[in-house]
Amino acid sequence: MNAQTNEKATPPETSGEPVASAEEIAELRKEIDWLDSEILRLVKRRVEVSQTIGAARMAAGGTRIVYNREMDVLARYRELGPDGRQLAMALLNLGRGRLGR
């Protein structure tokens, strides 16, 4: 962890961080790989769903953007702070595709 990222000089034993063995780190990395693939799958599905809704709304003469729905999405990610906002914005942008740019 520390040795690889060079982020902190304090050894984990003295900083109160949990200490993971090399084997545990290998397992945790597998979990991260799996989580990333699941996140990617879900994001792709979200894009599909969002684009389907957007296309239907536009075909019916509706607006490109529904602000109150976008506010709901932003609020959902607020607990993650500014990065959560960026994440929500990225999801909304992906769903809008070229329409929202």
Reduced 3-state DSSP string for the chain? CHHHHCCCCCCHHHHCCCCCCHHHHHHHHHHHHHHHHHHHHHHHHHHHHHHHHHHHHHHCCCCCCCHHHHHHHHHHCHHHCHHHHHHHHHHHHHHHHHHHC
CB of 69 to ligand PRE, least distance (A): 4
The residues in 34-93 that bind ligand PRE, with binding defined as CB under 6 A, are: 50, 53-54, 65-66, 69-70, 73, 92
CB of 41 to ligand PRE, least distance (A): 17
CB of 27 to ligand PRE, least distance (A): 34
User: Interface residues with ligand PRE (CB under 6 A)?
Assistant: 50, 53-54, 65-66, 69-70, 73, 92, 95-96
